[in-house]
Amino acid sequence: MERPTVTDPIVILEREGPVGLIGLNNPPVNAASHALRVGLRDALHAFLEDREVRVIAVYGVGRSFVAGADIREFQTGRKPPLLSDLITEIEGMEKPVVAVCHGNALGGGLELALGCHARVALPGLKVGFPEVDLGLLPGAGGTQRTPRLVGLKAALDLIPTGKRITGEEAVAIGLFDTASTADPRTAALGAAHAVIEGALPARRTRELDADIDPALIETAKAKAAKKGHFTAPQRAIEAVAAAALPIDQGLAEEVRLFKECMEDPQRAALVQAFFAERAVAKIPEKDAAPRKVDHIAVIGGGTMGSGISTAALMAGLKVTLMEVSAEALARGKGTIEKNLGGAMKRGKLSDAAHAAALTALNTTTDLSALAEADLVIEAVFEDMEVKKDIFRRLDAVMKPGAVLATNTSYLDVDAIAAETNRPGDVLGLHFFSPAHIMRLLEVVVAQETLPEVTATGFALAKRLGKVGVRAGVCDGFIGNRILAHYRKVADYLVLDGAAPQEIDRALEDFGFAMGPFAVADLAGLDIGMMTRKRLAPTRDLRERYSPIPDRICERGWFGRKTGQGYYLYGDREGPNPAVATIIDEERAKAGITPREITDGEIVDRYMTAMIAEGARVLEDGIALRPVDIDAAFLFGYGFPRFRGGPMFYADTIGAAELVRRIEAYAEEDDFFWRVPPLLARMAADGTTFADLNERG
Ligand code: 3HC
């Protein structure tokens, strides 16, 4: 057979003597789409019929072997041949089929390899079952073949966790048979010859037995339950347990549980979260060429500045940290070193990368020493005059073409940019604390920001491993503006009758890692107090105001750091009884008779306020699309991933019901509860936020 003549066919067939080579070619990640499955099946059949072919080898063309099923088909519907059937067919084939894997062999891609009769790992290979992260379980035999190959313990370490391991580790545990350093096609040819010569044994995984210890299954279930509300890991473990059955029964059980996952609302939400992470990069400025950034300067060595410096150093950038005094610099440097040490301990940084990061850090107390940096991030405290002064000085010293960024959480980036003679080079880069861990980066685009400067912000986000979300200028941008609104609901609910701990529990049951009062205690109640003071002059007197947080702060109780806030810390854990007294007093003063408030009402009011402000943020053009709000909340605010983000969740309720709720709440408070015009239009024409995402 000759080399392929068709340009870029999805499956490339070649015969080299007794070897049938199948190259899978479905860029960018070789997802096992319908077309790829059909192509692979037809290619296999062609080689089965070709009498000359003794062994078939399958490999990936381009960056990867197969990164899994085509996730988009879960939304549009899957057509036969299903991957599970195709893999079972491959396993039963008379001629040996070898899988030679490079790049990623994930999910259905790994399952395809497990259905082949031998597996070869190439350098840099990553394998794993990320299905649980999408609300699924390996549904093409992975739960049955993995324990047969590597034993129950190793299977449970992989399948319910979504953990990815290297090719070397996969060989070490017996998931792969051997490794090669050749390029994929050459390795495929070599592996096929090795099978012919008997050097690489070919066998059917289905012929192996699995030893399923029920005690290990129970332990795995308990461990997965600790991770919260996710349903897929539990089902995945159940499917692995079915490997105790004869394989065809086990496979049928896997299919049954896979279908349950497909119908579970968590699946759609988690798939949305996967795409949200990628959709946010599709910005109007995406075709602008980002400027080169190798050296960044950070002004301010506090929690934010040192977190940002840590993130940049971990990404291999050169960092110059500036502070006002040698003492402040030493503190900042100490925090960075501690952060880097922690990252090394957590396995996020190798010893060599850790050492390199330490040498890539320079410090200075002289602003003019920052002049040569490609990008400077100001991370000093939130005072407009201080920031304006810094930007005037930066304008005077920074080299032409440098990007000037502020890490402000709410201040007017246009006003800051206006202090310089190069407003086009200015933007907001709003990191979230701890900045070397939290993945959200709001890229705040001011009126004059040049497209290439915005593109530079996004390129930096990617380099730092963060999710850049484009935001417009307003008080709080996307996230903090929405938060400021819905957070008030929690205070109103306390005034009306719910205890802070009841509200926290209801929202934690909904899926938030921590309720709003526990978060407030952790962040420090003084932070909320400062925000209230800042906004006091502009507060509309018609707005309902809860004095309870101020009363707690008056006592000097700022939460965890002072040993008490809404809760007691140290050896007196639990709700703070003195806060309950303050609440009673304030209700009495306001003439409120506390009423019974259910968990359902707490969640409904809190979420409705979040969605309503999200709709206004969209209408004001602060967020480009609903998916940008979803990503901001998923990656910066601990929003439960299995609910897909606030705007995705809104669609599960429907605009009409949301409008009805807001109108009902407005009967008691028509200042806070107002129907956003966008939501009213959506309710009238029956559209969804997903429709808005599609329109872009
Ligand atoms: N299906 C469809 N599209 C996919 C995909 C998949 N499995 N994996 C990635 N893509 C798309 C992305 O959406 C993105 O599209 P875009 O350019 O339009 O935004 C493009 O491919 C490139 O992806 P990334 O930007 O993520 O590229 P990276 O190089 O950074 O990462 C990757 C590559 C590690 C493969 C990463 O994309 C990934 O983890 N993908 C998901 C893998 C996965 O979850 N597989 C399991 C699927 S479920 C399954 O197999 C069920 C089975 O058991 C039956």
Residues 415, 420: Cα–Cα separation, whole Å:
10
Q: Which atom of ligand 1 is nearest to the CA of 109?
A: 50
Residue with CA nearest ligand 1 atom 20: 28
Confidence band, pLDDT 50/70/90 cuts, at residue 528: confident
Same domain, 504 and 551: yes
Token readout for 319 is: 């960092």
Residues 296-322 pLDDT 10s: 999 999 999 999 999 999 999 999 999
Same domain, 249 and 300: no
Domain with 399 in it: what CATH number? Answer: 3.40.50.720
The answer to whether residues 314 and 335 touch, using CB atoms and an 8 Å cutoff, is no
Q: Which atom of ligand 1 is nearest to the CA of 282?
A: 19
Same domain, 118 and 257: yes
Q: Give the pLDDT score at 7.
A: 52
Instruction: Give me ligand 1 centre to Cα 275, in Å.
Output: 9
Residues 154-172 pLDDT 10s: 999 999 999 999 999 999 9
Q: Is residue 276 part of a domain?
A: no
pTM above threshold 0.85: yes
Instruction: Give me ligand 1 centre to Cα 440, in Å.
Output: 20
Is residue 98 within a helix (H) or strand (E), and if so which, with residue range?
strand 97-101
Q: Is residue 282 part of a domain?
A: no
Q: Is residue 573 part of a domain?
A: yes
Q: Give the pLDDT score at 3.
A: 44
Residues 614-630 pLDDT 10s: 999 999 999 999 999 99
Q: Which atom of ligand 1 is nearest to the CA of 130?
A: 44
Burial of 685 (0-12, 13-18, 19+ CB in 10 A): exposed
Q: Which atom of ligand 1 is nearest to the CA of 111?
A: 53
* 687-691-693-696 Cα dihedral, nearest 10 degrees: -110
Number of domains observed in the structure of the chain: 3
Q: Which of 400, 449, 394 is nearest to 424 (CA)?
A: 449
Q: Is residue 289 part of a domain?
A: no
Q: Which of 478, 504, 527 is the last residue of a domain?
A: 478
Same domain, 158 and 189: yes
Token readout for 469 is: 């979300």
The answer to whether residues 579 and 552 touch, using CB atoms and an 8 Å cutoff, is yes
Residue with CA nearest ligand 1 atom 25: 278
Same domain, 491 and 408: no
Q: Give the pLDDT score at 8.
A: 64
Q: Which of 421, 455, 478 is the last residue of a domain?
A: 478
Grouping H, G, I as helix, E, B as strand and the rest as coil, residue 525 is: helix
Instruction: Give me ligand 1 centre to Cα 60, in Å.
Output: 15
Domain with 92 in it: what CATH number? Answer: 3.90.226.10
The answer to whether residues 192 and 56 touch, using CB atoms and an 8 Å cutoff, is yes
DSSP code, position 368: G
Higher-pLDDT residue of 531 and 408 is 408
Q: Which atom of ligand 1 is nearest to the CA of 274?
A: 13
Q: Which atom of ligand 1 is nearest to the CA of 70?
A: 1
Q: Is residue 271 part of a domain?
A: no
Same domain, 308 and 218: no
Instruction: Give me ligand 1 centre to Cα 130, in Å.
Output: 10
Residue with CA nearest ligand 1 atom 14: 278
Instruction: Give me ligand 1 centre to Cα 68, in Å.
Output: 7
Residues 60-76 pLDDT 10s: 999 999 999 999 998 88
Same domain, 17 and 106: yes
Q: Give the pLDDT score at 670.
A: 96
Residues 548, 528: Cα–Cα separation, whole Å:
12
Sequence-ordered list of residues with C-beta below 8 angstroms from that of 629, at least 6 positions apart, any chain: 478, 482, 614, 617, 618, 623, 645, 646, 647
Residues 386-404 pLDDT 10s: 999 999 999 999 999 999 9
Same domain, 474 and 491: no
To test the pocket of ligand 1, the residue of 34, 71, 72, 262 to mutate (highest count of ligand atoms within 8 Å of its CB) is 71
To test the pocket of ligand 1, the residue of 29, 144, 641 to mutate (highest count of ligand atoms within 8 Å of its CB) is 29
Same domain, 504 and 556: yes
Read off the pLDDT of each residue in 511-529 and give the average, rounded to a whole number: 92
Catalytically active residues, by annotation: 111, 131
- As for ligand 1, residues whose beta carbon falls within 6 Å of it are 28-29, 31, 67-72, 83, 104, 106-108, 111, 130-131, 134, 136, 138-140, 142, 278
Mean pLDDT (the chain, rounded): 96
Same domain, 421 and 436: yes
Residues 251, 388: Cα–Cα separation, whole Å:
65
The answer to whether residues 449 and 424 touch, using CB atoms and an 8 Å cutoff, is yes
Instruction: Give me ligand 1 centre to Cα 29, in Å.
Output: 6
Sequence-ordered list of residues with C-beta below 8 angstroms from that of 149, at least 6 positions apart, any chain: 114, 174, 175, 205, 208
Q: Give the pLDDT score at 1.
A: 41
Structural domain harbouring 673: 480-621+624-695
Q: Is residue 2 part of a domain?
A: no
Q: Which of 91, 187, 181 is nearest to 142 (CA)?
A: 91
Same domain, 88 and 211: yes
Confidence band, pLDDT 50/70/90 cuts, at residue 150: very high
Read off the pLDDT of each residue in 453-461 and give the average, rounded to a whole number: 98
Instruction: Give me ligand 1 centre to Cα 40, in Å.
Output: 19
Residue with CA nearest ligand 1 atom 53: 138
Residues 561-596 pLDDT 10s: 999 999 999 887 899 999 999 999 999 999 999 999
Q: Is residue 240 part of a domain?
A: yes
Q: Is residue 507 part of a domain?
A: yes
Q: Which of 94, 98, 67, 115 is nearest to 185 (CA)?
A: 98
Domain with 596 in it: what CATH number? Answer: 1.10.1040.50
Q: Give the pLDDT score at 6.
A: 46
**Beta strand pairing call for 104-106 and 97-101:** unpaired
Q: Which of 416, 444, 478 is the last residue of a domain?
A: 478
Residues 412-451 pLDDT 10s: 999 999 999 999 999 999 999 899 999 999 999 999 999 9
Same domain, 159 and 203: yes
